[in-house]
Structure 1
Amino acid sequence: MSDTVTRGIRITVKPRYVAEQSDPDARQYLFAYHITIRNQSDDTVQLLSRHWVITNGEGQVEEVRGPGVVGYQPVLEPGADFEYTSGCPLTTPVGTMHGEFNMVVKASGVHFDAQIEPFRLAIPRVLN
């Protein structure tokens, strides 16, 4: 799990292994992650883009950048939440993800990156 606050924007990530869509014999492991973005600031903000750094268990790094999340660029009023679930395939049974969401304060136009601290992707009982 990851729980990070940047400028009043709290991002919580809860990952899980998706065994029914994985094939360990073929080195295909699918992980889902549920994200909650909560605006704890006094400003209305909009999520514009995402940047993920994905590292598998062999140290191979992949970066993913794109507009919004799951097809949305949500606007969050003070006190509002936005939740979504997405997935990440790996070729190893363990890995990590971290990144940031580029946000803009609607009233001022100020941009900032809301950080997402690293979280572990791991099949159950693979790590102590």
Structure 2
Amino acid sequence: MVQQVTSGIKITVETIFEGTFYKNYKVHYAFGYKVTIENQSKDAVQLTSRHWRIMDALNNNEIIEGEGVIGKKPILKPGEFHTYRSGCLLSSPFGAMHGYYNMVNFTTSNKFKVFIPSFKLSAPFALN
């Protein structure tokens, strides 16, 4: 588990290896992750969009951008949190992800970024 706080917003990420499968005659490694976004600030905020960078051990990089998270743009009052689960596929049993959420503060109308700490993706069978 990794955690990071940016501008009073705490991000916690937990990962799990979900298995291997073949797609287009290539083996792929499936990883799941659970993200908790906790508002530790004194203002209500809304997550508007996301930006992810996914990297694997074969030096493949993928950028994912889009509105909200899993179809939602959660509004978080002080002390509230939002948890969601998602996943990704890698071409190798090792990789990492990091990124940021674009947020808006409802009190000041200011837009700001909340950084998602880098976290490792690793298949347990590939570890020494």
Higher strand share: 2
In the alignment, is residue 23 of structure 1 matched against residue 21 of structure 2? yes
The CA deviation at 1:125 is 4.0
Contact kept, 8 Å, 1:53 with 1:63, in 2: the verdict is yes
CA distance in 1: counterparts of 2:127 and 2:4, whole angstroms: 24
The CA deviation at 1:11 is 0.4
Contact kept, 8 Å, 1:2 with 1:116, in 2: the verdict is no
CA distance in 1: counterparts of 2:92 and 2:52, whole angstroms: 18
The CA deviation at 1:68 is 0.2
Residue 92 (structure 1) aligns with: 92
Contact kept, 8 Å, 2:9 with 2:38, in 1: the verdict is yes
Measured against aligned partners, the alpha-carbon deviations of 1:60-92 in whole angstroms (never above 9, x if no partner) come to: 111000000000000000000100000101111
CA distance in 2: counterparts of 1:14 and 1:125, whole angstroms: 18
The CA deviation at 1:117 is 1.0
| TM-score, normalisation: structure 2 | 0.94
Contact kept, 8 Å, 1:76 with 1:82, in 2: the verdict is yes
Secondary structure of 1:28's counterpart equals strand
Residue 124 (structure 1) aligns with: 124
Contact kept, 8 Å, 2:97 with 2:120, in 1: the verdict is yes
CA distance in 1: counterparts of 2:31 and 2:84, whole angstroms: 14
Contact kept, 8 Å, 2:16 with 2:32, in 1: the verdict is yes
Structure 2, unmatched stretches of 5+, are none
Residue 44 (structure 1) aligns with: 44
| TM-score, normalisation: structure 1 | 0.94
CA distance in 2: counterparts of 1:79 and 1:126, whole angstroms: 39
In the alignment, is residue 33 of structure 1 matched against residue 33 of structure 2? yes
Contact kept, 8 Å, 1:47 with 1:102, in 2: the verdict is yes
* Paired residue type of 1:106: F
The CA deviation at 1:23 is 1.8
Contact kept, 8 Å, 2:17 with 2:31, in 1: the verdict is yes
- Alignment root-mean-square deviation, CA: 1.3
The CA deviation at 1:127 is 2.8
The structure 1 segments of at least 4 consecutive aligned residues displaced by more than 4 Å after TM superposition are none
Paired residues in the alignment total: 126
